[in-house]
Amino acid sequence: MRKSKKDGSGKAHVASTINEPLYVNRPVAVNKQGFLSRFDEIWDARWFTNDGPMVQELEHELAKYLGVGHCVLASNGTAAMGLLIDALGLGGKVVLPAFTFVSTAHLLALRRMEPVFCDIYPDGHDLSVEHCQELLSDETSAVIATHIWGRPAKIESLQALCDEAGIPLIFDAAHAFGTRHGERMIGRFGRAEVFSFHATKLFHTFEGGAVTTECSELAERLRQLRNFGFTEYDQVDCIGTNAKMSEVHAAMGLANLESIESIMMGTRDVYEAYERGLRSIEGLTLARPRSKAETNNYYVPVLVDEAKFGVTRDKLVSVLHSENVLVRRYFYPGSHRLAPYKAIVGDMISLPVTDFVSERIMVLPGGASLTVEDVEAVCSLLERIHLKHADKGDRPPLSDNPGLG
Ligand code: T4K
């Protein structure tokens, strides 16, 4: 984690320019020694992949941390979701949000299935239960909801809907490592949950992912599928693939898991600094979790209201980039408007909330790689851009930036 710079008085001061790029979800790199000592072990044992001891240990430790029966690691989150789709034998149509990462839609389309894009709620940006209900049909084989921004989807309502329809509910928990829902951690809900451990996630293994489930048979099936369908040496019982995690990736996961409490605390401090800093900036609305207790604080999604802020979301993004604040437009456009899906659904589909949010959303740099001082500098920059463009009279100087002229 980056240390905050303080002056002689011990007070952190807000920099007027941001000299180093601030990335959205820059990977945490906190426990180098924990990683290197495990790397030495791997090197000496010369066991590099194929369900090695580090992978087994990480599966055990993650299941314990999440309080779930089984954790099956995979080479990345997309591969993990693919294993699950195949293990459950899904076919036909699957309902999922258009406002999420496009990976799951791709998995379905590649399997000749139909992604049925569902709208979201304007407050939480998560799957609308009401719209999902409208979209269910006899051909629907599952619902895959995302815990967007690391906050739980409407778990109980979706579960009731899927139970009534007799179909499995799956959660894309890629954003939600470390989030609680009531007394339980995310990872224990639905038929199964799927995590991404990509470098940009709160908890990561460089690249990686996992399926978590309470169902032993499902876990066993997933293990077979990720290893070409092998059940024994020379025995292949089903058609499978290669979605295995290597030992080096698992070693990084074990090192990060050792530091997870400090990573989570640093992440929360950064989010709370944004809560304070963005409060007074007109035209920027921090999309907050429904419950402060049910978030991992990792994502800092902000909606830009052009009329009140003074510039469009896209102009603001480009100005921030030129000032070293590398914000992202996650998730713009909605999957239904990406070329491969637009070609299929065209204008036949109406997802007004998805369109509204995706045209205004901007994700600010968050997570424990930042300092509170970084956040104060970002908020101060946002304030100055707003004041300049909303023509409030007070115009502190910005660095040379043609975009602001
Ligand atoms: N479901 C959801 C809801 C997801 O968000 C994702 C992945 C998945 C499923 C699928 O899981 P995986 O199969 O990926 O495990 C990134 C990630 O590649 C992707 O994992 C992630 N979501 C998606 C939202 O973002 P890009 O193309 O935006 O990544 P990139 O390279 O622009 O990096 C993002 C930011 O991180 C930049 O600000 C730069 C910074 N960065 C990135 C890397 C890789 C670093 O500072 N260091 C690095 O090493 O896709």
Asked if 358 and 53 touch (Cβ cutoff 8 Å), the reply is no
Please give the single-letter amino acid code of residue 24. V
Best residue among 127, 198, 298, 320 to mutate for probing ligand 1's pocket (most ligand atoms within 8 Å of CB) is 198
Ligand 1 centroid distance, CA of 318 (Å): 20
Is the CB of 209 inside a 6 Å radius of any atom of ligand 1?
yes
Task: pLDDT tens for the chain, 405 residues: list them.
Answer: 554 444 444 444 455 689 899 999 999 999 999 999 999 999 999 999 999 999 999 999 999 999 999 999 999 999 999 999 999 999 999 999 999 999 999 999 999 999 999 999 999 999 999 999 999 999 999 999 999 999 999 999 999 999 999 999 999 999 999 999 999 999 999 999 999 999 999 999 999 999 999 999 999 999 999 999 999 999 999 999 999 999 999 999 999 999 999 999 999 999 999 999 999 999 999 999 999 999 999 999 999 999 999 999 999 999 999 999 999 999 999 999 999 999 888 778 899 999 999 999 999 999 999 999 999 999 999 999 999 988 654 444 454 443 333
pLDDT value at residue 15: 55
From the CB of 174, is ligand 1 less than 6 Å away?
A: yes
**Which domains, ranges and CATH numbers included, belong to the chain?**
32-258 (3.40.640.10), 265-389 (3.90.1150.10)
Spell out a b/e string for 10-48, using b for 16 or more CB atoms within 10 Å of the CB, else e: eeeeeeeebeeebbbbbbbebbeebbeebbeebeeeeee
Q: Looking at the chain, how many residues does it have? A: 405
For residue 323 and ligand 1, the question of a CB distance below 6 A is answered with no
Ligand 1 centroid distance, CA of 101 (Å): 9
Q: Pick the residue whose CA is nearest to atom 50 on ligand 1.
A: 200
102 C-beta closer than 6 A to ligand 1 = no
Ligand 1, atom 11: nearest CA belongs to which residue? 77
Q: How far apart are CA 325 and CA 374, in angstroms?
A: 10
**What is the Cα–Cα distance from 127 to 116, expressed in whole angstroms?**
12
- Cα-based distances in Å from 104 to 80, 117, 215, 334: 10, 11, 22, 13
Helices 32-45 and 53-66: crossing angle in degrees, nearest 10, is 140
| Peptide bond connecting 35 to the previous residue in cis, omega within 30 degrees of 0 | no
What was the pLDDT predicted at 346?
74
> Does the CB atom of residue 106 touch ligand 1 within 6 A?
no
Q: How far is the CA of 200 from the centre of ligand 1 (A)?
A: 5
HSE, side-chain direction, 13 A CA sphere, residue 89: 3
Q: Where are the beta strands (DSSP E) in 81-216?
A: 93-97, 114-118, 140-146, 169-172, 180-181, 184-185, 192-196, 209-213
Assess whether the C-beta atom of 335 lies below 6 angstroms from ligand 1.
no
| 298 C-beta closer than 6 A to ligand 1 | no
- Please name the residue whose Cα sits nearest to atom 46 of ligand 1: 26
Is 22 touching ligand 1 by the criterion CB < 6 Å?
Answer: no
Report H helices in 279-351.
Answer: 306-309, 313-322, 339-345
**pTM of the full structure:** 0.94
CB-CB contact of 152 with 186 (8 Å) = yes
Question: Could you identify the atom of ligand 1 that is nearest to the CA of residue 79?
Answer: 13
